[in-house]
Amino acid sequence: MAISGVFVPLITPFKNDEVDFVSYKKMIDFYLTKGIHGFVPLGTTGESPTVNEKEYEAIIEKTMEYTNNAVPVYIGLGGNNTKGLLPKLKIVEKHNVQGILSVSPYYSRPDQRGIYEHFKTISEATDLDIILYNIPYRTGRNIENSTIHKLAELKNIVAIKDACGNFSQTMDLLMNSPKDFSILTGEDAFYYSTLLLGGDGGILASAHIETESFVKIYNDIKSNDQKAALKTWEKLYKFVPMLFAEPNPTPLKYCLYKLGLIESSEVRMPLLEITDELKAKLDKTLNL
């Protein structure tokens, strides 16, 4: 099944340094009414580096309970210890998830051969669908398009979250897409452009806010109404950069707190809550 549409990479709400599952359920219930196409918990937006093993499985369990199979769920599962990820895969496989979102190995900076073998090992260890995640400014290494094409030949590598940061590379991938392979943008500012060039959707932190507008853009472009989509995008385009003016998901959590979707804007170190200056800008722009 092709992966397409607007996917929300869920934040992990915290309260008094515990996962706030009351707020988590409230968020999921809310987004399920907005026409979104799926969820991706436990990614970077979900502050996955600070989530312990017990919390990790509890979040998966609760996600599947709260969504009740209404939309596909892809769990964030990536790292730079290839063999160390395999036991974690077994935890994910215990639950009825559609697949995983797996970031390219970070910090170690393997070459293209190492990146290929890393994902090949994961692919051979599971029947779950795998969405590659290319975000070089976080990982220190780009997944080149030639490597993406090679990986797309593997049975269960079915999509990519493309945040390569180089629109020339993105455009080349879109114009020469591997067969039966979905290209989802992870660069929120490239969302409209990616869809116009035939992209399949996005995994968008910004879609936590003005969710229906992101969905409308997708639906309008798929219905060949680019003018209507552009009109909506002009409104979103102004606030999207503000959500990344300080480290993600700190601005997002502030907005969700002010909107009443979560009970606290708390983040875990090394992240800190946003500055008063950015709070004032977000309050003004989003009428919070």
C-alpha 161: how far from chain center: 7
The question of whether 133 is a catalytic residue gets the answer yes
Q: How far is CA 285 from CA 64, 121, 241, in A?
A: 34, 46, 12
Q: What is the 3-state secondary structure (H, E, C) of 22-86?
A: HHHHHHHHHHHCCCCCEECCCCCCCCHHHCCHHHHHHHHHHHHHHHCCCCCEEEECCCCCHHHHH
Positive/negative CA dihedral, 72, 165, 12, 56: positive
- Residues 59-78 as b/e (b if ≥16 CB within 10 A, e otherwise) read bbebbbebbeeebbbbbbbb
Q: Which of 161, 191, 253, 257 is catalytic?
A: 161
Nearest-CA neighbor of 48 among 275, 272, 278, 271?
A: 271
The question of whether 90 is a catalytic residue gets the answer no
Q: Which of 133, 191, 218, 254 is catalytic?
A: 133
Q: What is the dihedral of CA 133, 139, 144, 147, to 10 degrees?
A: -60
Enumerate the active-site residues. Answer: 133, 161
